[in-house]
Structure 1
């Protein structure tokens, strides 16, 4: 049995049919040279032969499904791999459009809590000598950073390498939650002392955050965001859109404007959302506010260690300057807002950052109360995440991964989620929206290109 941190159990407690709480990923692969028509089917069957499964992928909530407050994991000793690893085919003509429609449906269905909380689907019938895989795992098990890191560690940079194992199958067999001897170095007195120090530091830290926010004026406070078309009750059905852009285009804008690539990505989103809402006649007069998660994990942490599971995130609220007409001025405001947001957390511990970041997330945790989102102001308008990804092309038994597109979670009162990840020389955007509430989601992809083009023109 493994105890479940409160930050992880919250994702189980908040889940309902209208609010699936899993993250996902869509990966596109190019068939290797000489692959025949049976390649994808054989690939799927080979995955079912790998019966050795990581402990993380055997976890399921302990106790009856209907019990409120599940705080422990148990090990599923009867895992049915054929249930979790599936094969699907696209209807003709097998375009990206059909792929995104299938992915949207798969992402809208709940995971079975009587089983380990993950699924993996191999998808055949895709045009262009390609196939795809769609994976989803409950946010209580992994955050997006951990999931992408696990994928990266599973694939190979060598196109000639064979025997590459999927994320759920370790290279060396292990059948316990924690590594043997892991607790030998654990000092309970030091851990308690550190915890007490952090908790007592929360009061001064919270006061400092509020004081700095008012003093700087430009810092964005929670619950100051305008009401928007995205801050409404949602359904469980999803719509997904995805596309990649060359990283060098964003880097060039960043160099010209003395901004980070993440600032440019946020400005791309801001410009696209501004025009999207103008076209619908629904742009608020006040600027939209984005919640931008920041990972508290060390990038160099081993992909296979015990720290991989769970969630380790902080949160910055960013002024998207959607009331600003000029793209360059909009980017400058976004850059300033992100700098001040990071300065607020300077010198704080991981616990303090997590605790203070939870303040804007309170409405998400209690958003399942009927009618609550219609009477309370939103803490922010849209969640925009940037997850660092693989820096070099990766292969799965000779099949080159062409792209990896993240799917995330629209929350009650947060009908749109934008998550991006870097892969090789590309920045991959994944847009996940409530199917009923966010119309014409695909249109945002064209507006993202227009927004980047405008930034290139105004910062050249």
Structure 2
């Protein structure tokens, strides 16, 4: 048994049928030349032969008495791989449309807490000699950075390499020893965590009060009410598309901005147009919560197992500004102020401050509250780095990685993107009743063209 820190257990505490707390991804592959019709079935059978499973993928949550009401991790020594790793087929005609519909349904269902919190679905029947893999891991188990890292362990730059192990197979994983199940030790860890929380919260509040007094960084409760901030159900709809990273970098270079500033400006312009079409654009600017990785550069070498190391920043998206150039500059300024705020706190203090940012979402679980109060922010926009070169999975070329994050209560839209080779891959996840979700992709493309025009 291993005590679960608050940065992980918070995702179990906040989960319900309407609000699954897992992150996922949809990978699109081209079948290697000369492969037969049973290629994916062979891959599936080969994956199931890897019965040795690393600790991260054996973890399941439990709530032991000595943990003082806190969650802890237990390890499943009888994991059923056939349950966790499944082979599915798309209905005809097997277009991307059917693939996205299947991924939307899979992403809207809860993971079984009596088992380790992950699933992998191999999906055949896609037109054009392609197949897909949809995977999901509970956010208590891993954040987006960890999920991408686990996926990358299965890939290779060599199109001729075969026999790559699946993501759960140990590959030189550092041994940390078996976690202690001593009840006294567990109780001490739980008490220590509560004491650490008590010590760091005042420091986080001090910096928050300073930011409010100086009117610099964007803070919670500045976001306007919008159709993106209502009570939501469990059904999901997903849309995805890729854009050339060279186009985005060219805009950033010309404007002396970062790639992240440019993609945030793309999202801001797309949301402004989308909401204007629906006659639902607030007069005040939308506020995005932007996750910030708190991992140290040597994280992968420490032997750490999964976990979350993510803080939160808030960005003024300037959706009240019709001029794309002015909107880009306001976004750049807002992000710079948020980074300055983060720099004034230690990593742990910043994580606790981030908890204060998202804490108001707990009120959204009360019926009617999302519709009657200002949200702490309007949506989450997340950027997770991915592989920089073309990758292969047992000879199959990886054509795209489309991230699928989670929707918090009172948050009907999430935009997550990841870099891959020469592209930036956007995944747009929405509550199923949000109208015309696919149009956000069209507006993202139009906004990139607008940004290119003003920076020529």
TM normalised by structure 1 equals 0.91
Give 1:246-265 correspondences, 5 Å limit.
246-265=244-263
2:27 equivalent to 1:27: yes
Seen in structure 2, the aligned counterparts of structure 1 residues 46 and 458 have a Cα distance that, compared at 3 Å, is same
Give 1:342-361 correspondences, 5 Å limit: 342-361=339-358
Instruction: Quickly say closer, same or farther: Cα 1:346–1:173, change in 2 above 3 A.
Output: closer
- Residue by residue, what CA displacement relative to the aligned partner does 1:38-83 show, whole Å, maximum 9, x if unpaired? 101111111111111111111111259xx99551111112111101
CA apart distance, 1:430: 0.6
Change (3 A) 1:181 1:234: closer
Q: How does 1:299-338 map to 2 (within 5 A)?
A: 299-302=297-300, 306-338=303-335
Report the Cα distance in structure 2 between the residues aligned to 1:431 and 1:82, rounded to whole angstroms: 30
Q: Pairwise CA RMSD of aligned residues?
A: 2.5
SS in 2 for 1:302: helix
Give how far 1:205 is off. Answer: 4.7
Mapped to 2, the partners of 1:235 and 1:260 lie a distance apart of: 36
Change (3 A) 1:288 1:113: same
CA distance in 1, matches of 2:243, 2:204: 39
* Residues 170 and 213 (structure 1), Cα distance of their counterparts in 2 relative to 1, 3 Å cut: same
In structure 2, do the counterparts of structure 1 residues 213 and 424 end up closer, same or farther at CA, with 3 Å as the change threshold? farther
The answer to whether the 8 Å contact 2:225/2:371 transfers is no
Q: Distance in 1 between matches of 2:445 and 2:216?
A: 28
Report if aligned partners of 1:12, 1:70 keep a CA contact under 8 Å in 2.
no
My pick for the range that moved more, 82-91 or 157-166, is 157-166
CA apart distance, 1:162: 1.5
Question: Residue 276 of structure 2 corresponds to which residue in structure 1?
Answer: 278
The answer to whether residue 85 in structure 2 is matched with residue 74 in structure 1 is no
CA distance, structure 1, for counterparts of residue 372 and residue 193 of structure 2: 40
Q: Using the TM superposition, give the Cα deviation of residue 348 of structure 1 relative to its aligned residue in structure 2, in angstroms.
A: 1.9
The Cα shift of 1:354 comes to 0.4
Q: Counterpart of 2:447?
A: 451
- Cα distance in 2 for residues equivalent to 1:207 and 1:162: 55
Structure 2 SS opposite 1:104? helix
Q: Distance in 2 between matches of 1:156 and 1:446?
A: 33
Hey, what does 1:154 align to over in structure 2? Answer: 154
The residue aligned with 1:211 is 210
Question: Quick one: distance in 1 between partners of 2:382 and 2:68?
Answer: 29
Distance 1:338 1:245, change over 3 A: same
The Cα of 1:300 is off from its aligned counterpart by 4.5
TM-superposed deviation, 1:209? 3.5
Q: Distance in 2 between matches of 1:134 and 1:98?
A: 13
Q: Is the 8 A contact 1:179 1:306 kept in 2?
A: no
Normalising by the residue count of structure 2, what TM-score does the alignment of the two structures yield?
Answer: 0.92
Pairwise mapping of residues 167-186 of structure 1 onto structure 2 (< 5 A)?
167-172=167-172, 178-179=176-177
Q: CA deviation at 1:360?
A: 1.7
| Alpha-carbon distance between aligned partners in 2 of 1:389 and 1:77, rounded to the nearest angstrom | 31
- 1:46 maps to 46
Q: Give the distance between the partners of 2:236 and 2:230, measured in 1 at CA.
A: 15
2: CA distance, partners of 1:101 / 1:195 = 43
Contact 1:10–1:365 (CA under 8 A) maintained in structure 2 = no
What SS does the aligned partner of 2:387 have?
Answer: coil
**Displacement, 1:363?**
2.3
Q: Which residue of 1 aligns with 2:426?
A: 429
Query: CA, structure 1 residues 121+228, in 2 after alignment: closer, same or farther (shift >3 Å)?
Result: same
The Cα of 1:208 is off from its aligned counterpart by: 3.3
In the alignment, structure 1 residue 245 sits paired with structure 2 residue 243: yes
CA contact (8 A) 1:52 1:173 kept: no
Task: Kindly indicate whether residue 445 of structure 2 is the aligned counterpart of residue 413 of structure 1.
Answer: no
Shift of 1:374: 2.8
Q: CA 1:276 to 1:398, structure 2 compared with 1: closer, same or farther past 3 Å?
A: same
Q: Specify the SS of the correspondent of 1:291.
A: strand
Instruction: Give the Å deviation of 1:210.
Output: 2.8
Quote the offset at 1:220 in angstroms: 1.2
Instruction: Deviation per CA, 1:195-222: give whole Å up to 9, x if none.
Output: 989965653453233323442x352121
- Contact between 2:204 and 2:350, CA under 8 Å: does it hold in 1? no
- Would the alpha carbon gap of residues 68 and 452 (structure 1) be closer, same or farther in structure 2, given more than 3 Å must change? farther
Shift of 1:383: 0.4
Gaps of 5+ in 2: 181-190
Listed one character per residue, the Cα deviations across residues 128-149 of structure 1 (whole Å, up to 9, x for unaligned) are 2111000001111000111111
Aligned counterpart for 1:367 among listed residues 361, 364, 367: 364
Cα contact 1:146–1:308 (8 A) shared by 2:
no
The answer to whether the 8 A contact 1:198-1:349 is kept is no
- Return the offset for 1:154: 2.6
